[in-house]
Amino acid sequence: MALIIYPLSGFDSFVTLEDTTSNLTNNVIDTTAWTALAETVKEIYLRQATLLIKSRIDLDLVVSVDNLELATSLLANYAVGVDITDDTNDGNIKINEITGVIHKEYFTKGKASNAMPTNVVSLLSEYGFVGSGSIKILRA
């Protein structure tokens, strides 16, 4: 089933498969796991990433979709091998943090698997992102 892309009514992804491939090629060191997936599986990851992001941002604040598309692409790639829809505190979660040329990889114990990587959180901040353990303050 083809993806319906935001801002169309009934959308199920913020980004196309083609744009995801481009975003990952330009911004991620290792896309081996993503590249190996069938297109139908990639669409599932994009739908999951979109659902998780959509639940934590204010769509009324979306003016430009550039960061939203990149964040969705990065989260879908991050999710390969991790169930980002699971909000339990069980197990170890592999974390990859990439800052410039520095690549940190480690496991955290008891971290919710739907926690988002730092680079995704940063990209979503302009959309009123509310992460787990975060609060959102609005002016009256």
- pLDDT tens string 55-76: 888 888 888 899 999 999 999 9
CB 114 within 8 A of CB 130: no
CB 20 within 8 A of CB 28: no
Name the pTM for this structure. Answer: 0.73
Does residue 50 form part of some domain? yes
pLDDT of residue 135: 45
Does residue 101 form part of some domain? no
Does residue 107 form part of some domain? no
pLDDT of residue 119: 87
Question: Is the pLDDT at 99 greater than 70, yes or no?
Answer: yes
Does residue 30 form part of some domain? yes
Does residue 29 form part of some domain? yes
Q: Residue 107: which pLDDT band, with cuts at 50, 70 and 90?
A: low
Does residue 36 form part of some domain? yes
Q: Residue 3: which pLDDT band, with cuts at 50, 70 and 90?
A: very high
> How many domains in the chain?
1
pLDDT over 70, % of the chain: 71
Reduce the DSSP state of residue 6 to 3 states and report it.
coil
Domain of 41?
17-86+116-127
DSSP string, 11-55: --BSS-HHHHHHHHHHH-S--HHHHHS-HHHHHHHHHHHHHHHHT
CB 50 within 8 A of CB 7: no
Question: Is the pLDDT at 36 greater than 80, yes or no?
Answer: yes
Does residue 2 form part of some domain? no
DSSP string, 63-132: S--HHHHHHHHHHHHHHTTS-TT-----SEEEEEEEETTEEEEEEEES--TTPPPHHHHHHHGGGT---T
Does residue 37 form part of some domain? yes
Read off the pLDDT of each residue in 35-40 and give the average, rounded to a whole number.
Answer: 94
Q: Residue 7: which pLDDT band, with cuts at 50, 70 and 90?
A: very high
